[in-house]
Amino acid sequence: MTESTTPTPRSVLVTGSSRGIGAAITADFVAAGHKVAGLSTSGGAPEGALGIACDITDPAAVEAAFAQAEAAHGPIEVLVANAGITKDTLVLRMSEDDFDQVIRVNLSGAFRCAKRAAKSMIRARFGRIIFIGSVVGLYGSAGQVNYSASKAGLVGMARSLTRELGGRGVTANVVAPGFIETDMTAVLGDAISDKYRSQIPAGRFGVVAEVSAAVSYLASDQAGYVSGIVLPVDGGLGMGY
Ligand code: NDP
């Protein structure tokens, strides 16, 4: 590796680090030599990361978790807002609670973490905020009015943060995965999985490492002029949306 591509070790915070995409992102940052804190309700995180139990819907818990991460690793320089949930059902059956819970975790939780991280990023005149959205944020999805609204909201959030903080060396982007093999998609069942697979130009679901690679790029020093984008990792499913 040449000197110009050696990554600067950063203080990184990943939400939803215990499983799936967040665990892969956390492990890859650790392997690249960064100092990584991982938040999840269970407190789990891959080896080498500081696992912190935190429900991101609780403002006091988020503040305490950031304080713990910063005491160990210094001010957060890279935030990956990945924690997310689904509560799928058709719109006429979707309760207020089904809607609110998904928004509270996926959108308000991401906002809370981004706001907290932005403070020190502005001071440092460096920051990388990466939201994990979804192909359905822009494509739409029957049975996911709550979830797709939350993921579309992240696009507006990243673009508004870009306009507010772009002059301070802070970037904000969305990585939009398609169908990725994790606990979230394991519940779909063979018939539904096959139907979705037939619509994906790549002809397969993605793997967590493919999402993590996109996140690593957006977090890198080399991506300092890339902000406000939606980077799909979806095998071509969402092309044009
Ligand atoms: P998983 O269900 O495998 O993992 C979800 C993670 O989020 C877990 O670590 C969980 O922690 C954490 N989490 C959930 N609620 C909270 C909360 N209130 N506070 C803190 N942490 C929380 O999901 P995936 O890895 O599949 O998905 C990760 C992200 O990628 C999500 O935002 C999802 O919407 C998005 N995505 C996933 C796709 C896929 O096909 N898998 C496709 C497109 C987007 P705990 O272990 O404690 O429950």
> Is residue 241 one of the residues assigned to a domain?
no
> Is residue 20 one of the residues assigned to a domain?
yes
Confidence of residue 5 (pLDDT cuts 50, 70, 90): low
> Is residue 24 one of the residues assigned to a domain?
yes
Q: What are phi and psi of 109, to 5 degrees?
A: -65, -40
- The pLDDT of 52-78, averaged and rounded, is 98
Check residue 143 and give left, alpha or beta (phi > 0: left; psi -120 to 50: alpha). left
> Is residue 86 one of the residues assigned to a domain?
yes
Give pLDDT, residue 172.
Answer: 99
> Is residue 142 one of the residues assigned to a domain?
yes
**Residue 46 CA to its chain's centroid (Å):** 16
> Is residue 189 one of the residues assigned to a domain?
yes
Give pLDDT, residue 1.
Answer: 44
Domain tally, the chain: 1
Give pLDDT, residue 187.
Answer: 87
pLDDT tens string 8-28: 999 999 999 999 999 999 999
> Is residue 2 one of the residues assigned to a domain?
no
- The pLDDT of 183-198, averaged and rounded, is 89
For ligand 1, pick from 13, 26, 28, 40 the residue to mutate: most ligand atoms within 8 Å of CB: 40
Pocket of ligand 1 (CB under 6 A): 15-22, 39-42, 44, 54-57, 82-85, 105, 132, 134, 177, 179-180, 182-185
Range(s) of the domain holding residue 111: 8-229
Task: Specify the CATH number for the domain of residue 207.
Answer: 3.40.50.720
> Is residue 145 one of the residues assigned to a domain?
yes
Confidence of residue 184 (pLDDT cuts 50, 70, 90): confident
